[in-house]
Amino acid sequence: MIQVALAGNPNTGKTSLFNNLTGSYEYVGNWAGVTVEKKVGTLKQVPGLLIDLPGIYSLNPVSRDEGVATQYLLSEKFSAILNIVDASQLERNLYLTVQLLEFEKPLLIGLNMIDVARNRGIQIDYEQLSALLGVPIQPIVARTGDGCSRLPLMLQQSSEQSAVLFRLDYGSILEQGINRLTELLPTHTNLPSKRWIALQFFEENPIVTDLLSGFVNREQLLDLRQETERLVQEKTGARSLHQYIRQVRGSFISDIVKRSVRVTKQATYTMTEQVDRIVTNKFLGIPVFLLFMFLVFQFTFDWAGTPLSDLLDAFFTGPLAGFFEQMLTLAGTSGFIEALILEGILPGVGGVLVFVPQIFILFLIISFIEDSGYMARVAMVMDRMMEGVGLNGKAFIPMIIGFGCNVPGIMAARTIEQPKERLITTLLTPLMSCSARLTVYSLFAGALFQTHQALVVLSLYVIGIVVALLLAHLFSTYLFKQESSIFLVELPPYRLPQWKTLLRSTWEKGKGFIKKAGTFIFGGSVVIWLLGYTGPSGLHVDINNSFLAAIGGLIAPWLTPLGFGTWQAGAALLTGFFAKEVVVTTMNILYAPSAAETLQGAVANVYTPLQAYSFMAFLLLYVPCFATLATIRKEAASARWTWFTVGYALFIAYLVALVIYQGGRLMGFE
Ligand SMILES: Nc1nc2c(ncn2[C@@H]2O[C@H](COP(=O)(O)OP(=O)(O)OP(=O)(O)O)[C@@H](O)[C@H]2O)c(=O)[nH]1
Ligand SMILES: [Mg+2]
């Protein structure tokens, strides 16, 4: 069985190919840094595993996700490397290829994006290139699958052969240094190529340096590096050893490119350039983004989402409930079971499922942002504002992904280079309004703000962003020592996403929501209903004397200053800790809308618009859900920071809701 590692620069189509060859679906998007963990898949055509890795520019890692790739190559057993190279940016991509060749494992190049290269008039002589590098090359279009079907067999062949010997001449001084270092290395270890290790060490690759200090005296190592660097500087005038090595590789590569590539027409990026002139404009950038978001909500609510959702609701509460009622009567079930199903499970699960249209529309639009190339632009546009608060534009990418679900958002923070900025982003991404919270907004906005739904919801998203930025400023000033920041984001060319990819990506995000409804929310409905049905005084009590009322009543007084000091609100918020949609489930069971009335009607009777807005703001900011906290715990590797998140979130939520409600009353709203 073969085991092949996929390696290549970011955003070159590795995951697209992985999905194609393994039949799985992993996250694909048009910006650098989509994949942040290694993913293993089973090859369809030949027995073997394919391992998708985060994209890297070099084996010398800068950020945490890049470290994953280098670490994998160093510590895992695999039979070959499949190096994905972007044909439209050959010269830059080959820099990594050279380092992979030096690694001396069987290597195969998948030359991807040849469709893009062709459009730009880039003609590559594959055979010549393959001969110059000494490895097989297969041209492919990973997005459509063209040329990909030959890869598995080629991989199998490569895996059986030994690696070709690749020797780039680094000049006598460095070669001497390399020899001296390799002599220091023990012979019987499962280390990769010694030459590779030596070169990476001279380049100051931290992972390799750590690895080496397990075998060789650290001081001896550093002395050797210093001496070699000094000699190289004297002889060549290079600034550093690192720069010198880059230079040698660079001139080798440009020579190869000169001999195998012909550009037949002048590059024209007119479409991308014209769009960028507006979208990334210094003054227009942020307004354009806000307008885009506004249209998103207009679409999600007024134009498509809510009408569809109303239809679903009518179906659930009408024909479906009727059908269940008849079936239960026919089966002659007890009153208890009947109540459990008709007043607990059906409204509990159905009440959340009716929001499927809104959520899927939102996911469709997020997928569009991801796959079109707009994502990196938003990061760039936001960079100046983010820098003002001690982060950089890249931190905005996790936040946008967080609009879908906070969990992948937090994972995306791995691509941020500075540890401090990464941690702050991890801690603040939960303030982004995720799709689960959208169900609650839909409920309240539909009940109390019918004419301005999109605007009200947009304002909540903006509150989340603004609070996150303010806190980022606070945290980076008072909690962490300052570190200098670099902002490197690549602007990929815009690509019109394919429908197939978009729908697939939407479904992959949305299916979790449906699954949750069938499992977690289903179970939650049963528990919540039981807690509302039973009480300290016995079975089947009035709901106001139930356990649920007792539990909710404990925190209700605390909520009174915020405008929603009822036990129902208290109970709903408590259950929301498990998943934010469960708030809707709880309300559906608690307010038990009758046939003549919808839940929205019931809510409109209990809340004023001001109270509703305060409630939504509180729900947006208070404790992250359980899954999000677990992710923070893992990514920040600290229980303390996890508790810190719970603490600051509760505090800020209380403060903001208080200001909204009390301020609103002072201004004469009710
Ligand atoms: N035109 C064209 N687009 C492609 C091709 N292969 C991939 N893409 C697109 O390129 C973008 C990046 O694809 P991914 O598969 O996510 O790239 P990746 O190498 O896994 O990226 P990272 O995980 O960030 O390192 C997506 O928008 C793909 O649809 C191709 O052959 N031609
Ligand atoms: Mg990827």
DSSP character string of 151-174: HHHHHHHHHHSPPPP------HHH
pLDDT at 87 over 90: yes
- If asked whether residues 155 and 297 sit together in one domain, one would say no
Does ligand 1 lie within 6 Å of residue 148's CB atom?
no
Q: Strand 107-112's sheet: what is its strand order?
A: 39-42, 48-52, 2-8, 80-86, 107-112, 137-139
State residue 483's pLDDT score. Answer: 66
Ligand 2: centre distance to CA 52 (Å): 7
Does ligand 1 lie within 6 Å of residue 371's CB atom?
yes
Residue 133 resides in a domain? yes
- If asked whether residues 578 and 440 sit together in one domain, one would say yes
* Ligand 1, atom nearest to 9 Cα: 25
Does ligand 1 lie within 6 Å of residue 260's CB atom?
no
Residue 251 resides in a domain? no
* Ligand 1, atom nearest to 33 Cα: 24
Amino acid at 241: L
State residue 554's pLDDT score. Answer: 94
Chain Cα centroid distance, residue 28: 10
Whole-number Å distance between alpha carbons of 78 and 72: 9
Ligand 1: centre distance to CA 141 (Å): 10
Query: What are 73's two structure tokens?
Result: 């190559």
Ligand 1: centre distance to CA 420 (Å): 29
Residue 389 resides in a domain? yes
Ligand 1: centre distance to CA 130 (Å): 23
CB 539 within 8 A of CB 533: yes
Q: What's the domain count of the chain?
A: 2
State residue 36's pLDDT score. Answer: 86
State residue 319's pLDDT score. Answer: 86
Ligand 2: centre distance to CA 113 (Å): 14
Task: Look at the chain and count its residues.
Answer: 670
Average pLDDT over residues 486-495: 81
pLDDT at 275 over 90: no
Average pLDDT over residues 255-264: 92
Chain Cα centroid distance, residue 94: 27
Residue 625 resides in a domain? yes
Q: Which residue has the higher pLDDT, 639 or 275?
A: 639
Q: Which residue has the higher pLDDT, 401 or 541?
A: 401
CB 5 within 8 A of CB 81: yes
Nearest CA to ligand 1 atom 27: 30
Q: Would you place residue 18 in the very low, low, confident or very high pLDDT band (cuts 50, 70, 90)?
A: very high
- What is the full DSSP assignment across 291-309? HHHHHHHIIIIIITHHHHH
Q: What are the tens digits of pLDDT across the range 343-374?
A: 888 888 888 888 888 889 888 998 999 999 89
pLDDT at 83 over 90: yes
- In the chain, the percentage of residues whose pLDDT exceeds 90 is 53
Whole-number Å distance between alpha carbons of 460 and 51: 40
Does ligand 1 lie within 6 Å of residue 112's CB atom?
yes
Ligand 1 pocket test, pick from 12, 14, 16, 65 with the greatest ligand atom count within 8 Å of Cβ, gives 16
Does ligand 1 lie within 6 Å of residue 115's CB atom?
yes
Does ligand 1 lie within 6 Å of residue 495's CB atom?
yes
Name which of 14, 59, 18 is nearest 42 in CA terms. Answer: 18
Ligand 1 pocket test, pick from 21, 27, 34 with the greatest ligand atom count within 8 Å of Cβ, gives 34
Average pLDDT over residues 72-82: 92
Residue 99 resides in a domain? yes
Q: What are the tens digits of pLDDT across the range 403-427?
A: 999 999 999 999 888 888 999 999 9
Last residue within a domain, chosen from 118, 144, 160: 160
Whole-number Å distance between alpha carbons of 475 and 468: 10
* Ligand 1, atom nearest to 56 Cα: 25
Does ligand 1 lie within 6 Å of residue 502's CB atom?
no
Average pLDDT over residues 17-34: 90
Ligand 1: centre distance to CA 490 (Å): 14
CB 427 within 8 A of CB 614: no
Nearest CA to ligand 1 atom 13: 13
Q: Which residue has the higher pLDDT, 321 or 653?
A: 653
* Ligand 1, atom nearest to 114 Cα: 31
Q: How far apart are the first and last CA of the chain?
A: 69
Ligand 1: centre distance to CA 113 (Å): 8
- Residues near 42 by beta carbon (within 8 Å), at least 6 away in sequence: 22, 48, 49, 50
Ligand 2: centre distance to CA 27 (Å): 7
State residue 229's pLDDT score. Answer: 93
pLDDT at 149 over 70: yes
Q: Would you place residue 661 in the very low, low, confident or very high pLDDT band (cuts 50, 70, 90)?
A: very high
Do β-strands 107-112 and 122-124 pair in parallel, antiparallel, or remain unpaired? unpaired
- If asked whether residues 549 and 416 sit together in one domain, one would say yes
The overall average pLDDT reported for the chain is 89
pLDDT at 251 over 80: yes
Ligand 1: centre distance to CA 468 (Å): 31
Ligand minimally distant from the alpha carbon of residue 139: 1
* Ligand 1, atom nearest to 35 Cα: 23
CB 632 within 8 A of CB 430: yes
Ligand minimally distant from the alpha carbon of residue 65: 1
pLDDT at 573 over 90: yes
Q: Would you place residue 171 in the very low, low, confident or very high pLDDT band (cuts 50, 70, 90)?
A: very high
* Among 46-60, 330-344, 411-425, the least confident range: 330-344
State residue 267's pLDDT score. Answer: 65
- In the chain, the percentage of residues whose pLDDT exceeds 70 is 98
Does ligand 1 lie within 6 Å of residue 39's CB atom?
no
Ligand 1: centre distance to CA 281 (Å): 26
Residue that the structure tokens 């160093």 belong to: 74
Last residue within a domain, chosen from 139, 160, 181: 160
Average pLDDT over residues 141-169: 91
Q: Would you place residue 596 in the very low, low, confident or very high pLDDT band (cuts 50, 70, 90)?
A: low
Ligand 2: centre distance to CA 21 (Å): 14
State residue 485's pLDDT score. Answer: 66
Ligand 2: centre distance to CA 5 (Å): 13
Residue 332 resides in a domain? yes
Residue 178 resides in a domain? no
Do β-strands 80-86 and 137-139 pair in parallel, antiparallel, or remain unpaired? unpaired
Does ligand 1 lie within 6 Å of residue 344's CB atom?
no
Ligand 1: centre distance to CA 124 (Å): 20
Average pLDDT over residues 233-253: 92
Last residue within a domain, chosen from 126, 160, 194: 160
Phi-psi region of 147 (alpha: psi -120 to 50; beta: other; left: phi over 0): left
Q: Would you place residue 278 in the very low, low, confident or very high pLDDT band (cuts 50, 70, 90)?
A: confident
Ligand minimally distant from the alpha carbon of residue 34: 1
Q: What is the CATH number of the domain that holds 7?
A: 3.40.50.300
Nearest CA to ligand 1 atom 9: 13
Does ligand 1 lie within 6 Å of residue 16's CB atom?
yes
Does ligand 1 lie within 6 Å of residue 143's CB atom?
yes
Average pLDDT over residues 467-484: 85
Residue 210 resides in a domain? no
Domain hosting 24: range is: 2-160
pLDDT at 481 over 80: no
